[in-house]
Amino acid sequence: MRHNHGYRKLGRTSSHRKALLKNLAIALIEHKKIETGVFKAKELQSYIEKLVTIARVGDFNSHRFIFSYLQDKSATKKLIAEIAPGYADRKGGYTRIQRTRLRRGDASLMATIEFV
């Protein structure tokens, strides 16, 4: 049973799920808005908001921590230099999820996730 479990498995192994969230986070940082499934967006929201909170500090340790999660130099630099300073006075809620449509092929709920 899944009573009050901490995260969604998304039908993937742990390594596949980790790679999926990493790639979605990099895409969100580069494009500032992406469309994906609702449950992937909800998982990505908690993943990226933790990174933004740490990136607000902007020191060497936050660079290392964020790079360990993303494994992408340009996304790490963009998150720390461009995105995180805009949220310096905000205590959370850096992203917004809006449900958009039903996907035509399988009628899955789609949503856009973007930085506020």
Q: Is the pTM of this model over 0.85?
A: yes
115: β partners? 95
Distance CA(24)–CA(106), nearest Å, equals 21
Q: Which domains does the chain have, with CATH numbers?
A: 14-115 (3.90.1030.10)
Q: Are 30 and 75 in contact (CB under 8 A)?
A: yes
Where is 71: in which H helix or E strand?
Answer: none
Pick out the chain residues at pLDDT < 50: none
3-21 pLDDT per residue, tens: 888 899 999 999 999 999 9
Distances 49 to 13, 62, 89 between C-alpha atoms, Å: 23, 14, 14
